Amino acid sequence: MVPRIFHPERLTDGETVTLDESAARHVARVLRLNPGGQLILFDGTGGEFNAVIREIGKRRVMAELGTRQHVETESPLRITLAQGVSRGDRMDFTIQKAVELGVSRIVPLSTERSVVNLKGQRLEKKLAHWQGIIISACEQCGRNTLPQLLPMQSLARWLEDDGAKGTGVLLDHRANATIATLSLPPGVALTLLIGPEGGLSGTEQERALVAGYQGLRLGPRVLRTETAALAALAALQSRFGDLR
């Protein structure tokens, strides 16, 4: 399989580009490719380029691009995952798998029951880390359009600013409605709201319902936050998207 590499700058037909430090290190030291080796480069705005390595040095790798190939694997279902921030690897895992399952936006939320306190430089580092996970997941799963990572914000602010746009759903094992009974007009944007480890508080659920969200039940069991997000995304993509 030809390695796929993200390039952070806009790519154009026929140009020769210098890979960024992280990509160059991966190509030279991990993949151990040589001049003449094949790559696929994409810049996250759609489409991809077949590329040939022209130079590999100690500090740089240069590759020559062919023409843009209009290859897309984006789902017709535009999903925003509004995710209460969970601890450590759980949030990383959720973001990685959400990208693989075709979300178009991810917004990390602080909630009443959040146990992760991110501010200042620590928040900046965490957002950069999550962006790296998004890029790596796109490289692996064949997506050429990067999902958007929105700034971290409180759930209250999210509901006030964006909560009522499109269709919003939140998981509630006590709700009567299910994904099987959900009605979704073609082309509408969907927001999936998931709480952190302790779930959303009763007050937060009520605020979400007032903002236009509807409760959905996945089944009789209470799922962990990382399980809930992925199970719901897979079910939604199976019914309305491209997991068929």
Give the CATH number of the domain where residue 36 resides: 2.40.240.20
Helix (H) or strand (E) holding 52, with range, is: strand 48-56
Residue 53 lies in a domain: yes
Name the band, by pLDDT with cuts 50, 70 and 90, for residue 36.
very high
If one compares 3 and 172, the residue with the highest pLDDT of the two is 3
Q: What percent of the chain has pLDDT over 90?
A: 83
Which residues on adjacent β-strands are paired with residue 69? 48
| Distances, alpha carbon 152 to alpha carbons 13, 107, 147, 163, 175, in Å | 36, 6, 15, 15, 28
Q: Are 65 and 5 in contact (CB under 8 A)?
A: no
Q: How far apart are CA 71 and CA 78, in angstroms?
A: 18
Whether the pLDDT of residue 215 is over 90: the answer is yes
Q: How far apart are CA 96 and CA 202, in angstroms?
A: 29
Query: Token pair 């746009």 is at which residue?
Result: 165
Q: What is the pLDDT of residue 64?
A: 98
Q: Record the tokens describing residue 232, joined without a space.
A: 């719901």
Q: What is the pLDDT of residue 115?
A: 81
| Distances, alpha carbon 109 to alpha carbons 27, 90, 113, 152, 219, in Å | 35, 14, 11, 6, 24
Mean of all residue pLDDT scores within the chain: 93
Express each pLDDT in 38-96 by its tens digit.
999 999 999 999 999 999 987 899 999 999 999 999 999 999 999 999 988 999 999 99
Whether the pLDDT of residue 187 is over 90: the answer is no
Q: What is the pLDDT of residue 164?
A: 52
Coil vs helix vs strand at 220: coil
Q: What is the pLDDT of residue 208?
A: 94
Mean pLDDT across the stretch 111-139? 93
DSSP-derived letter for residue 15 is: -
Q: What is the pLDDT of residue 244?
A: 79
Residue 74 lies in a domain: no
Whether the pLDDT of residue 163 is over 60: the answer is no
Residues 61 and 85 occupy one common structural domain: no
Q: What is the pLDDT of residue 188?
A: 81
Q: What is the CATH number of the domain that holds 227?
A: 3.40.1280.10
State how many domains the chain has.
2
Express each pLDDT in 230-239 by its tens digit.
999 999 999 9
Residue 11 lies in a domain: yes
Residue 115 lies in a domain: yes
Residues 117 and 161 occupy one common structural domain: yes
Residue 146 lies in a domain: yes
Whether the pLDDT of residue 229 is over 70: the answer is yes
Q: Which domain holds residue 199?
A: 79-240
The secondary structure of the chain in percent helix, strand, coil, rounded to multiples of 5, reads 30, 25, 45
Q: What is the pLDDT of residue 181?
A: 94
If one compares 176 and 59, the residue with the highest pLDDT of the two is 176
Whether the pLDDT of residue 37 is over 90: the answer is yes
Q: What is the pLDDT of residue 67?
A: 96
Residues 156 and 43 occupy one common structural domain: no
